[in-house]
Amino acid sequence: MARQLDEQIAGRFRVGRRLRVLDVGMGQGTQALRLARAGHEVTGLEQDARMIAAARDALAAEPEGIRQRVRLIEGDGRDTGVHFLPGSFDVVLCHGVLMYVEEPDPLVAGLARMLASGGLLSLLVRNADALAMRPGLNGDWAGALAAFDSTAYRNRLGLDVRADRLDALTATLAGIGAPLHAWYGVRVFTDTAPDGTPPPPDTAALLDAEERAGRTDPYRGVAALLHLCGVRG
């Protein structure tokens, strides 16, 4: 996903430009810190106090120059209008958040309002059109059959959450003035790996294969996650 995001940033903004980045639901700050190391000004928004604490610990270990480029805020992604003015950011990330939101459209619309003209909105969502893949590949035939007609699923944390369909999100992005510019699949081949599985010796080849599949039909359509990139008109 990081490779996909870097590709979109490089294709939209001039090399060396310091971008204003908002990472909504930043978790432990993996992408926020990565983009700060690349020279961008990053604001991370997260409502989970444990994740905020982990992000602060990770940030504290960075050089001072990087620490100065990162601002961490504890808050809900649905309240971006409370924290920021419209058009305040060049890039807005919302990765792994929409599955926890019952009605995602207002959240996505609020994120788009944070973008300056020509800004990039990056969404990572569970792929509702491929919900049957994981149970099917694991031999759970009843679960696979039930998943064909549903957008609801239970994640690996044991939480009941929801997935999004590509066509529905495409319509949403068009309706809020940030139409879909590109989309990728994420975790095409590796979704059934158990949590905690150590990286294989040929990790580079694995990432190359996942990256190729994530941009190639028909493979990307059955990925566990979808990475959608919209551009503010």
Domain containing residue 33: 2-231
The pLDDT value given to residue 81: 84
Q: Are 54 and 28 in contact (CB under 8 A)?
A: yes
- What's the total number of domains in the chain? 1
Using CA atoms, how far residue 196 sits from 99, 153, 156, in Å, is 22, 21, 12
- Cα separation of 67 and 107, whole Å? 28
Looking at the whole model, is its pTM more than 0.75? yes
pLDDT on residue 78: 85
pLDDT of residue 56: 96
Split the chain (233 residues) into runs of 10 and give each run's mean pLDDT: 96 94 96 97 96 96 96 90 93 97 94 97 98 96 96 92 97 97 97 89 96 98 98 94
Q: What was the pLDDT predicted at 29?
A: 95
Q: Is the separation of the CB atoms in 71 and 45 below 8 Å?
A: no
User: Which CATH number do you get for residue 15?
Assistant: 3.40.50.150
The per-residue pLDDT for 195 is 84
User: Greatest CA span in the chain, whole angstroms?
Assistant: 53
Q: What per-residue confidence (pLDDT) applies to 77? A: 86
Given this model, what pLDDT does residue 36 score? Answer: 98
Nearest Cα to Cα of residue 51 among 22, 24, 28: 28
Question: At 81, which amino acid appears?
Answer: G
Distance CA 41, CA 67 (A): 10
Q: What is d(CA 21, CA 50) in angstroms, rounded to the nearest whole number?
A: 22
Please give the pLDDT value at position 157.
86
3-class secondary-structure state, position 184: strand
Q: In a 3-state reduction of DSSP, which class is residue 69?
A: coil
